């Protein structure tokens, strides 16, 4: 392609954070009508590069050119005015405002000195039509699913006359249908000549959508590749710079003969959410939960852990019938739970890694039996080492860590309580390939040591790779049960689609 096709260039970008060089001489260029994937592990510098482009972080060196003119974005608003629009990973909209207000906030069309609501609502509905989203735009955003909220965020970004659109993990909370819809929209925008920077952890999507990819590692540029130049495996090894064998050589935990029963759920449910769920799990078994978003996987986990109270049915743990009405009851029964929404239900952002790791254990011991500082330090150091949490020390605030490392800290918090049953709800969402493989390996290791694990994931391949048995959920009910061994993605999909009920293993 010719040089004048280039819409955006970044040259020799450097950013220094206290103690680390977050970006070290990174170059990046984007062409008109191109989807350009920005890839790398967590902490590789993808977000920092984006933040630099949107004016959140200030560059220490380097030059940004948009359509040949040098720009220095001062803040996201300024970047947007220049034509650089961003949809961030965490939807940052106002949940209590209506959909239409969210789309037009800060740039409401006026009519005779007053906000023209009719126009706002009409144009919002029209805009969302383009995404095949048909909703009442006057209703508050909070009434819609995360997927819809994501669409609204994209609609808002696209409507402001952007030349460059940045999509930071736009698909991590969407199901496959919604992803397809988003891709259609991306193709549309591409055809109109917009340059799209696409950040995602889903490698399939990278290959499906992108024309070129730029790979970063440890704040440095590794290379720029055309999409047809690389295989998926090449890409992964480029990203992590590590031998691939250790990642894909995962073996399902061997089910021990004659292992006792860990958990038995009989007809448990919360009317209106999940109903009539029955299953059992052996000691040392890794039980996968598959199903679409909203199919009741998370709700089932929350019931077992007491986040929401089961209204019906009985729960038997290790042979004892138990009543679990709040998380503490579950913790006392040696159950642990890593929630899906890490930011809302997992991390205590302003507390240190040490405090975050010690918290669950401390909660179980009770307020009056505090852990000494020495105990806490030892606990934190032990898990930082064991889980290879990337941090200079245990006194860093957890919110300053990358997503994968935050997830490891939450995992450490629960491993410290020495649970018999560990529930992991999407533990690998939004984290990079390397960390993902590490977490999978840890799960299998823990199962080998006799821990039972419930593993919820939207990614079928990792469910199949790790689980001894798989429970498939559909519409708040259990749709089927499959054996992990010999199961294919198509098998699971057929059960999800309701073509056949899975045979009981």
Partner 1 sequence: MRKSKESIFKNKLVWAVIAELLILAVAGILEPNFFKIEFNQTTGMLYGSLIDIINRSAEITIIAMGMTMVIALGGTDISVGALVAVAGAFALKFLRWDVTQYPTPGDYTVKPFIFVILVPLVICTLMGLFNGVLIGKFKLQPIIATLILMVAGRGIAQIATNGKQFTTGYTPFRFIGQGSMLGLPFPIIITIVVCAAVMIFVRKTAFGTFVESVGINPSASRVTGLKSDRIIMIVYTLTGFLSGIAGLIYSSRISSCDSNNAGVNYEMDAILAVVLGGTSMTGGKFSLTGTIVGSLIIRTITTLVYYFGITSESIMAFKAAIILVVIVIQSEPVGRWLATRQARKQKVGELHG
- Interface positions, 279-308, toward partner 1 (CB under 8 A): 305, 307
Choose which of 33, 280, 327, 334 interacts with partner 1 (CB under 8 A): 327
Shortest reach from residue 379's CB to partner 1, in Å: 14
61 is a contact residue toward partner 1 (CB under 8 A): no
- Distance between first and last Cα of the chain: 56
Strand order in the sheet with 6-17: 20-31, 6-17, 61-66, 69-71
Tokens of 367: 């307020």
User: In whole angstroms, what separates CA 372 from the centre of its chain?
Assistant: 34
DSSP 183-233: HHHHHHHHHTT-EEEEE-S-HHHHHHH-SEEEEEETTEEEEEEEGGG--HH
How far is it, in rounded angstroms, from Cα 411 to Cα 435?
Answer: 12
Choose which of 6, 97, 224, 359 interacts with partner 1 (CB under 8 A): 359
Choose which of 109, 349, 450, 498 interacts with partner 1 (CB under 8 A): 349
Choose between 331 and 444: whose C-beta lies nearer to partner 1.
Answer: 331
Shortest reach from residue 414's CB to partner 1, in Å: 9
Rg, C-alpha atoms of the chain:
24
Choose which of 326, 375, 461, 503 interacts with partner 1 (CB under 8 A): 326
Burial class (CB within 10 angstroms; exposed 0-12, middle 13-18, buried 19+) of 359 = middle
Cα-Cα-Cα-Cα dihedral of 488, 492, 493, 497, to 10°?
A: 150
- Interface positions, 394-453, toward partner 1 (CB under 8 A): 395-397, 413
Choose between 57 and 98: whose C-beta lies nearer to partner 1.
Answer: 57
Choose which of 161, 257, 350, 499 interacts with partner 1 (CB under 8 A): 350
How far is it, in rounded angstroms, from Cα 367 to Cα 93?
Answer: 37
Choose between 235 and 338: whose C-beta lies nearer to partner 1.
Answer: 338
Q: Among 34-42, 344-352, 444-452, 474-482, which window interacts with partner 1 (CB under 8 A)?
A: 344-352
**Interface with partner 1: number of residues (CB under 8 A):** 37
Choose which of 393, 461, 475, 503 interacts with partner 1 (CB under 8 A): 393
Helical (H) or strand (E) element with 14 = strand 6-17
Choose which of 242, 334, 364, 441 interacts with partner 1 (CB under 8 A): 364
345 is a contact residue toward partner 1 (CB under 8 A): yes
Choose which of 346, 403, 419, 480 interacts with partner 1 (CB under 8 A): 346
Phi-psi region of 371 (alpha: psi -120 to 50; beta: other; left: phi over 0): beta
How far is it, in rounded angstroms, from Cα 444 to Cα 251?
Answer: 8
Choose which of 12, 370, 450, 498 interacts with partner 1 (CB under 8 A): 370
95 is a contact residue toward partner 1 (CB under 8 A): no
**Residues in contact with 415: Cβ distance below 8 Å, sequence separation at least 6, in sequence order:** 336, 383, 422, 446
Choose which of 371, 390, 493, 505 interacts with partner 1 (CB under 8 A): 371
How far is it, in rounded angstroms, from Cα 491 to Cα 484?
Answer: 11
Pattern 17-56, binding to partner 1, x per CB under 8 A? -xx-------------------------------------
Choose which of 24, 34, 101, 355 interacts with partner 1 (CB under 8 A): 355
Phi first, then psi: what are they for 89, rounded to 5°?
A: -55, -50
How far is it, in rounded angstroms, from Cα 237 to Cα 434?
Answer: 10
Q: Among 226-234, 310-318, 359-367, 487-495, which window interacts with partner 1 (CB under 8 A)?
A: 359-367
How far is it, in rounded angstroms, from Cα 228 to Cα 230?
Answer: 6
The 3-state DSSP class for residue 379 equals helix
Shortest reach from residue 416's CB to partner 1, in Å: 11
Shortest reach from residue 354's CB to partner 1, in Å: 10
How far is it, in rounded angstroms, from Cα 354 to Cα 146?
Answer: 32
Choose between 160 and 371: whose C-beta lies nearer to partner 1.
Answer: 371
Choose which of 203, 250, 363, 505 interacts with partner 1 (CB under 8 A): 363
Shortest reach from residue 335's CB to partner 1, in Å: 10
Choose which of 257, 367, 486, 490 interacts with partner 1 (CB under 8 A): 367
Choose which of 104, 225, 337, 455 interacts with partner 1 (CB under 8 A): 337
The site for partner 1 (CB under 8 A) is made up of 18-19, 305, 307, 326-328, 331, 337, 339, 344-351, 355, 359-360, 362-371, 392-393, 395-397, 413
């Amino acid at each position: 392609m010719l040089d004048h096709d280039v819409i955006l260039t970044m040259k020799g970008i450097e950013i220094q954070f206290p103690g680390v060089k977050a970006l070290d001489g990174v170059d990046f260029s984007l062409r008109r009508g191109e989807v350009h994937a920005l890839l790398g592990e967590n902490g590789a510098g993808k977000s920092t590069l984006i933040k630099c482009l949107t004016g959140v972080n200030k560059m220490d060196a380097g030059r940004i050119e948009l359509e040949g003119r040098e720009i220095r974005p001062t803040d996201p608003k300024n970047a947007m005015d220049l034509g650089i629009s961003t949809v961030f990973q965490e939807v940052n909209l106002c949940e209590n405002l209506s959909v239409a207000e969210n789309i037009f906030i800060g740039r409401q069309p006026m009519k005779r000195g007053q906000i023209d609501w009719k126009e706002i609502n009409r144009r919002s509905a029209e805009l969302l039509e383009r995404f095949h989203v048909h909703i009442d735009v006057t209703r508050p955003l909070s009434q819609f699913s995360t997927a819809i909220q994501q669409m609204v965020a994209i609609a808002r970004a696209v409507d402001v006359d952007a030349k460059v659109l940045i999509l930071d993990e736009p698909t991590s909370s969407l199901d496959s249908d919604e992803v397809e819809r988003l891709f259609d929209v991306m193709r549309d925008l591409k055809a109109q000549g917009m340059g799209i920077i696409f950040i995602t952890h889903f490698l399939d999507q990278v290959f499906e959508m992108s024309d070129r990819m730029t790979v970063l590692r440890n704040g440095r540029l590794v290379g720029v590749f055309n999409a047809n130049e690389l295989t998926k495996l090449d890409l992964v090894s480029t990203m992590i710079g590590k031998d691939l064998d250790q990642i894909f050589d995962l073996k399902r935990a061997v089910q021990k003969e004659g292992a006792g029963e860990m958990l038995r759920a009989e007809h448990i449910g919360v009317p209106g959410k999940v109903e009539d769920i029955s299953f059992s799990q052996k000691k040392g078994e890794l039980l996968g939960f598959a199903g679409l978003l909203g199919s009741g996987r998370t709700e089932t986990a929350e019931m077992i852990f007491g986040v929401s109270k089961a209204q019906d049915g009985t729960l038997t743990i290790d042979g004892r019938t138990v009543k679990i009405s709040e998380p503490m009851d579950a913790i006392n029964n040696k159950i642990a739970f890593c929630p899906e929404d890490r930011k809302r239900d997992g991390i205590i952002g302003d507390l240190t890694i040490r405090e975050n790791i010690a918290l669950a254990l401390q909660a179980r011991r009770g307020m009056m039996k505090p852990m000494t500082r020495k105990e806490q330090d030892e606990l934190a150091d032990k898990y930082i080492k064991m889980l290879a949490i990337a941090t200079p020390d245990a006194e860093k605030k957890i919110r300053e860590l990358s997503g994968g490392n935050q997830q490891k800290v939450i995992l450490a918090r629960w491993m410290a309580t020495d649970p018999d049953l560990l529930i992991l709800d999407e533990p690998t969402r939004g984290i990079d390939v390397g960390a993902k493989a590490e977490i999978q390996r840890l799960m299998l290791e823990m199962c080998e040591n006799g821990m039972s694990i419930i593993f919820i994931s939207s990614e079928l391949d990792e469910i199949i790779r790790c689980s001894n048995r798989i429970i498939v959920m559909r519409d708040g009910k259990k749709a089927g049960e499959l054996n992990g061994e010999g199961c294919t993605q198509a098998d699971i999909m057929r059960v999800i689609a309701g073509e056949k009920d899975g045979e009981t293993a």
